[in-house]
Amino acid sequence: MTAPTNYTTSIPQDTSEAADTKPVAAKPLPAVLKQVHCLDDFQPLARNKLPRQLYSYIANGADDEVSMGRNRQAFNRWAFSPRVLEGVEKRTQGITLFDQQYASPFGISPVGLAAMWSYRGDIVLAKTAREHRVPAVMSGASLIRMEDVAEAAPGTWFQAYLPGDEKRIAELLARIEAAGFGTLVLTVDLPVQVNPERYVKNGFSTPLRPSARLAWDGISHPRWLAGTFLRTLTRHGMPHFENWRAERGAPILSASVKRDFVARDHLCWEHVKVARKLWKGPLVIKGIMRKEDAQLARSAGADGIIVSNHGGRQLDSALSPLDVLPEIAETAEGLVVMMDSGIRRGTDVLKALALGARCVFNGRSFNYAATVAGEAGVAHAIHILRTEVDRDMALLGINHPYEIDHTLLRRAPL
C-alpha cells in the first residue's frame, strides 16, 4: 500500500503566505449576538429557537452521556505553565494543512441535518468557514446537494460513511470527486446505528415521522418554522438525504419511507484501502481512538486522522479523545493528527495542540451559532474562538500555536 503523501502542517514561512491567512474584518453584530460572549452562550439561544426533536439531535449524546461529559472534563485535567516577557507582539495563528493555508488551527466538524435548523445550513457553515479561512467538513448526512456546497464554498472537505460494498464505494467517491471536493474524510466509528433512546424520548427519528407532537413543536417555534422549514419547503421542496450515497436518499419527513441503513458492520481496513486506491487527494480517517488504529490507518494509505469519539454520540463510556491524543500523536509519524470532541475555548485548542494535534474541530457550537443567526452567527463563533486563541497565546508567551509543547502544560493538581 502506498505511504501517505507528505502533506505539510506548517507555519506560513513568508510574508505573502502569512498575509493569505489574515482573517477578514468583523462585521456589525445582529442584536441577538450581542449577548453571546463565548461559544457556550449559543446553546440556550438555539434551544429556545428549535423544536425539541431537532435540538435533541444536536445536543444529546449516547446512553447516559458519560462520554460527552468526559470530553469536557478531560481539558480540566491539564494546566498551563506560562512563560513571561517573551515578546509576543508578532502573534499569528496561520497554519497549513494538506498544502492549504488557514487563518487558525481550528475548524468546523461535520454534523448532519444542518439545513434543518439553519436555512441552507450546510452552505452557511461552509461559506462562512471559507470566508474566515478555517477548514470545514461537510457531512455525508446533509440535506443539501454536495455539488451546491462545493460550488458555494470551494475547498470544503467532504465526510463520507463508506457504503457496504465496493461498487457503491466507487460510485459515491466518483460523485464526491466530480463535485469538486479535494479532501475526503472517512468516518469509521459507526458500524451499527447508535442507541436511539434519547432521540426517541424527544420525538426525533430519521426520517421524522409526522405526528401531533411534531406539528405542535413546530408551530410553537414560529421563528424556526417560518425562517427555516417553510422557507426551505417553498424554495427548494422537501429536504432529502442528498449525499448519503451516490444516489438521492430518503426525505427528512415521511410516514413510511425508511432511510438507507444498509449493514456496515462487515466493513474493515480493506474497504479503506479500496477508497485509497480510488481517491487521489488527501484522505483523512475520522474516529481513531487507539494508537494501533492510527498505525493501521497509515498502512492503509491515509494522509491524516481525526482523533474523535464522535462528540460522545456513539459508544458511551469511551475515553475522551484528549486522553488518548498524546500516545496516538507519538506513534503517528507521517500522519496529520487532528482532534475533535469537547472543544469550547481557546485554551482547549491550545491544550490539544500541546498534546500533539495540528488542528482541532468543533461541531455543536458552530451549528448552534448557525441556528441563532446564520452566517453572522458562525462568523461570530469563529471570531470568539480566534480571539481567545490569540489572547491565550500572548498569556502563554508564544507567537504561534505550534510553539506550544509539553513544557507549557502540566497535569493539573487534584
Q: What is the mean pLDDT of residues 288-303?
A: 97
Q: Is 270 helix (H, G, I), strand (E, B) or coil?
A: helix
Q: Does 288 count as an annotated binding residue?
A: no
Q: Does 155 count as an annotated binding residue?
A: no
Q: Is 29 helix (H, G, I), strand (E, B) or coil?
A: coil
Q: Does 363 count as an annotated binding residue?
A: yes
Where is average pLDDT lowest: 188-192, 379-383, 394-398?
188-192
Q: Does 402 count as an annotated binding residue?
A: no
CB atoms within 10 A of CB 275: 22
Say whether pLDDT at 337 is over 70.
yes
Q: Does 142 count as an annotated binding residue?
A: no
Average pLDDT of every residue of the chain: 92
Q: Does 254 count as an annotated binding residue?
A: no
Note the pLDDT of residue 20.
Answer: 45
> The domain 43-197+259-409: what is its CATH number?
3.20.20.70
Q: Does 55 count as an annotated binding residue?
A: no
Q: Does 406 count as an annotated binding residue?
A: no
Q: Is 15 helix (H, G, I), strand (E, B) or coil?
A: helix
Q: Does 285 count as an annotated binding residue?
A: no
Which CB contacts under 8 angstroms, 24+ apart, belong to 172-179?
Answer: 172/245, 172/246, 173/275, 173/278, 173/279, 174/246, 174/278, 175/146, 175/246, 176/146, 177/279, 177/280, 177/281, 179/146, 179/147, 179/150
pLDDT tens per residue, range 81-113: 999 999 999 999 999 999 999 999 999 999 999
Q: What is the mean pLDDT of residues 242-250?
A: 93
Note the pLDDT of residue 28.
Answer: 83
Q: What is the DSSP string of 358-377?
A: SEEEESHHHHHHHHHHHHHH
Note the pLDDT of residue 379.
Answer: 97
Q: Does 340 count as an annotated binding residue?
A: yes
Q: State how far the Cα of 150 lies from the Cα of 63, in Å rounded to an integer.
A: 35
- Cβ 217 vs Cβ 229: under 8 Å: no
Where is average pLDDT lowest: 179-193, 221-235, 278-292?
179-193
Say whether pLDDT at 162 is over 80.
yes
Torsion of CA 310, 312, 314, 319, to 10 degrees: 90
Cell numbers given for 113? 441535518
Residue in 221, 240, 310, 380 annotated catalytic: 310
Q: State how far the Cα of 247 lies from the Cα of 295, in Å rounded to an integer.
A: 33
Say whether pLDDT at 228 is over 90.
yes
pLDDT band, residue 61 (cuts 50/70/90): very high
Q: Catalytic annotation on 310?
A: yes
Neighbouring C-alpha atoms within 13 Å toward the C-beta of 375: 14
pLDDT tens per residue, range 305-335: 999 999 999 999 999 999 999 999 999 999 9
Q: Does 311 count as an annotated binding residue?
A: no
